[in-house]
A and B are shown apart, each in its own frame.
Chain A
Amino acid sequence: MTAFLELRNVTKVFSSGILRKKRTVALDNLSLKIDTDRPMVKAIAGESGSGKTTLGMMLMGFLSPTSGSVLYNGKDMRSLNRDEQRAFRREVQAVFQDPFSVYNPFYPVDHVLEMPIEKFKLAKSRREARALMEEALSAVGLQPAETLGRFPHQLSGGQRQRIMVARALLLKPRLIIADEPVSMVDASLRATILESLRKLNRDFGISILYITHDLTTAYHVSNHILVLYRGSLAEAGDVEHVIKQPKHPYTQLLVDSIPWPDLEHSWGKNRIPSGKSAVQPVSATACKFADRCPHAMPVCGQQPPPLYRVDPTRAAACFLHQEAAVLPREEINALFV
């Protein structure tokens, strides 16, 4: 069966410098299938520089992989014809980080909703267009009467971000890629935006790819999670297992660092080793976390760890779990049941 959208052994290298000699591996041999038959919320988590945004950009077709391929309905993105490209642009929608810079301050916010209706000819008349806009706004919990006709500066960041979700919804997409949609919004408003994303998943059957550095919200909105570290997959699987009992030392570090709003769950208990570990990677393909890892072993500095399937719904790329069976990277979707 062909997946709706698939990354197959994708690697992305950015080169810079005068002779293009300085190479940064943003994403290293990653495979992922996104099915829309069973709409799920998948989270891609990682710190700055982990490659999570690069991954999102490739799924949206804004970047081409250096090696490997991105497939849309089984067809390489680079060989889509015009109609297929158009269908792709409609079926995959994006919500970006900054709810301030996506709006043109000279137009009322209606503009961002009218554009897709016009471009994709969703409505036959002005009245029909208006009805569509109102329907989409209501679905994300906004009052159309209080929203339409206003200028961006009259609305809060949270409202603007929900209009972006409404815009994505207008096109009845099959997948929404939300890249840090709440990181610039107040903590008290985050919940409403995330809840509207979850609602789209539940009520409209839209798959969501939630890209974030915030494991707390990832835990709450998603079914599955992929944790990236410097372009490589560290751990993936069912979000309950990954957050509650992380197996990869990097995920453990991330989970320990979350400032949980919980008096009993304090930071002080397990101090993060801030120094470097004794193991220094000797090979460029070694485990990228080896130099920070408190459990590093000599083997970690020599070769890249394969994915070990530590339990049926989760895998970790770490030699600590050598006794488990190796899961080929292409079969990562077997974890997401």
Chain B
Amino acid sequence: MTAPVLEVRDLKVYYHTARGPVKAVDGVSFTLAPKTRLGLVGESGSGKSTMALALMRMIKPPGRIDGGQILLDGQDLVQLSQDEMRRVRLNQIAMVPQGAMNSLNPVTRIRQQIVDGLRAHDIKMTKREMDKRVAEVLSWVDLHPSVGDMYPHELSGGMKQRVCIAIAISLRPKVIIADEPTSALDVVVQRQVMETIGRVQEELGAAVILIGHDMGLMVQFVDRLAVMYGGKIAEQGHMRDIFREPLHPYTRLLIQSLPKLEDKGELKGIPGIAPSLLNAPPGCLFHVRCPEALPVCKTVTPPPQELRPARLVACHLYDAAPVVAGAVAAPVAGKEQAA
């Protein structure tokens, strides 16, 4: 097994509000192998976007990384100084933020916005070399070099999104984080953008973390999936395994709620609402909505258990199942501390 490019161990990100800490990410562990695609799904408020920001070390006060490690090729990003982190961003780990197309500067040409990123990383080039580089970066995302001379308003939503991908990959990072990269685009453009990300990922040999709530997109795109609920990972494993046989009740309901082409029938939603992460009660945060909740779920936080190879589930339903204690220490796993 190859060493993971990114390893997150027991990461905790809390927002310290006047009414107490909001545990947006609470003891999350996962690993990302080189050249693979990991999906991070969850509903609004599950902590998935906070997760993305934490990986970039871009959490702003009152938020803070309160524990854990983010190992990028063995280097712990949490320990880096601001200046050291600035050099890592874009260069080794880059993000396509949510609604990225609105993050382009409206009064600056596309070329300049790509060049800005390169300059910030002390890349010294002549103007001609720079032009060549910009054209190359744009060609990676299927855009014509002339797009460099345009302003954002001259581009369609899908093109703007591809420009943002181009900026994110301009320094060939090892890890690309895409936070709902297509949420504002229609299906045809969505497919083109996702295919662009996929192709770029393969060509650069980077690893991708796709964050979103659209399970359909995950099925089409990722290799591994982590389902987040209330700041913790409920279940993680290979996409196909999870989809064929979801083990956590939340994952099961999530998959059932999807409209499929077959059995056009009643649409099943998940009853209840997402938990407030402010002063969260002990126990499993899903127990109030869970159709299979046990008494123990109200009091004890379920730790992730490796039920199958490379498959972790945090649910008391499987407490009776034989847990391979040693296997939990495998690189895919991490110990979760009770809140």
Q: A residues near B, CB below 8 A?
A: 47-48, 156-159, 186-195, 198, 213-217, 219-221, 240, 243-244, 253-254, 256-263, 265-267, 271-272, 274
Please measure, in the bound complex, the distance between the C-alpha atom of A259 and the C-alpha atom of B271, giving whole angstroms: 24
- Find out whether the CB atom of A259 lies under 8 angstroms from the CB atom of B191: yes
Q: How many A-B residue pairs have CB under 8 A?
A: 122
Q: Which among A159, A220, A256, A258 is the interface contact of B216 at CB below 8 angstroms?
A: A258
- Closest B residue to A146 using CB positions: B273
Please measure, in the bound complex, the distance between the C-alpha atom of A260 and the C-alpha atom of B271, giving whole angstroms: 23
How many Å from the CB of B153 to the closest CB on chain A? 14
- Find out whether the CB atom of B187 lies under 8 angstroms from the CB atom of A220: no
- Find out whether the CB atom of B191 lies under 8 angstroms from the CB atom of A219: no
Additional A-B contact list (20), CB under 8 Å, known A219-B259, A259-B217, A261-B216: A47-B189, A156-B274, A187-B213, A188-B257, A189-B43, A191-B268, A192-B267, A216-B259, A217-B259, A240-B264, A257-B188, A258-B187, A258-B216, A259-B214, A259-B219, A260-B216, A261-B258, A265-B261, A267-B220, A272-B192
A/B interface sample: 28 pairs, CB < 8 A: A47-B186, A47-B188, A158-B269, A186-B44, A188-B270, A191-B270, A192-B270, A195-B268, A195-B269, A198-B267, A215-B187, A219-B259, A219-B261, A220-B267, A253-B188, A254-B187, A257-B190, A259-B191, A259-B194, A260-B220, A261-B215, A261-B216, A261-B219, A261-B258, A262-B261, A265-B261, A271-B195, A272-B188
Q: Which among A188, A198, A213, A271 is the interface contact of B213 at CB below 8 angstroms?
A: A188
Interface majority SS on A: helix, strand, loop or mixed?
Answer: helix
User: How does the 8 Å CB contact mask read for B211-233 relative to A, with 1 for contact and 0 for none?
Assistant: 00111111111000000000000
A188-B257, A192-B269 given; A259·B220 CB < 8 A: yes
Kindly list the 6 A-B residue pairs having the minimum CB-CB distance in the complex, ordered from nearest. A192-B269, A259-B216, A191-B269, A191-B267, A47-B186, A261-B216
- Find out whether the CB atom of B260 lies under 8 angstroms from the CB atom of A262: yes
Q: B residues near A, CB below 8 A?
A: 43-44, 142, 157, 186-192, 194-195, 213-221, 240, 243-244, 253-255, 257-261, 264, 266-271, 273-274
- Closest A residue to B253 using CB positions: A188
A216-B259, A267-B220 given; A189·B187 CB < 8 A: no
> Which residues in B have their C-beta under 8 angstroms from that of A47?
186-189
A47-B189, A189-B43, A219-B259 given; A266·B220 CB < 8 A: yes
- Find out whether the CB atom of B243 lies under 8 angstroms from the CB atom of A263: yes
> Which residues in A have their C-beta under 8 angstroms from that of B215?
187, 261
- Closest B residue to A218 using CB positions: B259
> Which residues in A have their C-beta under 8 angstroms from that of B260?
260-262
- Closest A residue to B270 using CB positions: A188
- Find out whether the CB atom of B257 lies under 8 angstroms from the CB atom of A191: yes
How many Å from the CB of B252 to the closest CB on chain A? 12
> Which residues in A have their C-beta under 8 angstroms from that of B271?
192
- Find out whether the CB atom of A48 lies under 8 angstroms from the CB atom of B258: no
A219-B264, A267-B220 given; A261·B269 CB < 8 A: no
> Which residues in A have their C-beta under 8 angstroms from that of B244?
263
How many Å from the CB of B84 to the closest CB on chain A? 37
> Which residues in A have their C-beta under 8 angstroms from that of B219?
259-263
- Find out whether the CB atom of A274 lies under 8 angstroms from the CB atom of B261: no
Please measure, in the bound complex, the distance between the C-alpha atom of A261 and the C-alpha atom of B213, giving whole angstroms: 12
- Find out whether the CB atom of A257 lies under 8 angstroms from the CB atom of B274: no
Please measure, in the bound complex, the distance between the C-alpha atom of A221 and the C-alpha atom of B267, giving whole angstroms: 9
- Find out whether the CB atom of A48 lies under 8 angstroms from the CB atom of B157: yes
How many Å from the CB of B244 to the closest CB on chain A? 7
Q: Which among A192, A214, A257 is the interface contact of B191 at CB below 8 angstroms?
A: A257
Please measure, in the bound complex, the distance between the C-alpha atom of A33 and the C-alpha atom of B187, giving whole angstroms: 28
- Find out whether the CB atom of A190 lies under 8 angstroms from the CB atom of B188: no
- Closest B residue to A221 using CB positions: B267
How many Å from the CB of A221 to the closest CB on chain B? 8
How many Å from the CB of B264 to the closest CB on chain A? 6
> Which residues in B have their C-beta under 8 angstroms from that of A217?
259
Please measure, in the bound complex, the distance between the C-alpha atom of A285 and the C-alpha atom of B190, giving whole angstroms: 28
How many Å from the CB of B250 to the closest CB on chain A? 9
Please measure, in the bound complex, the distance between the C-alpha atom of A266 and the C-alpha atom of B215, giving whole angstroms: 13
Please measure, in the bound complex, the distance between the C-alpha atom of A213 and the C-alpha atom of B188, giving whole angstroms: 10
How many Å from the CB of A178 to the closest CB on chain B? 14
- Find out whether the CB atom of A257 lies under 8 angstroms from the CB atom of B187: yes
> Which residues in B have their C-beta under 8 angstroms from that of A156?
44, 273-274
Q: Which among B157, B191, B213, B221 is the interface contact of A272 at CB below 8 angstroms?
A: B191
- Closest B residue to A243 using CB positions: B261
> Which residues in B have their C-beta under 8 angstroms from that of A253?
188
> Which residues in B have their C-beta under 8 angstroms from that of A190?
257, 267, 269
How many Å from the CB of B291 to the closest CB on chain A? 14
- Find out whether the CB atom of B240 lies under 8 angstroms from the CB atom of A195: no
How many Å from the CB of A252 to the closest CB on chain B? 11
How many Å from the CB of B138 to the closest CB on chain A? 15
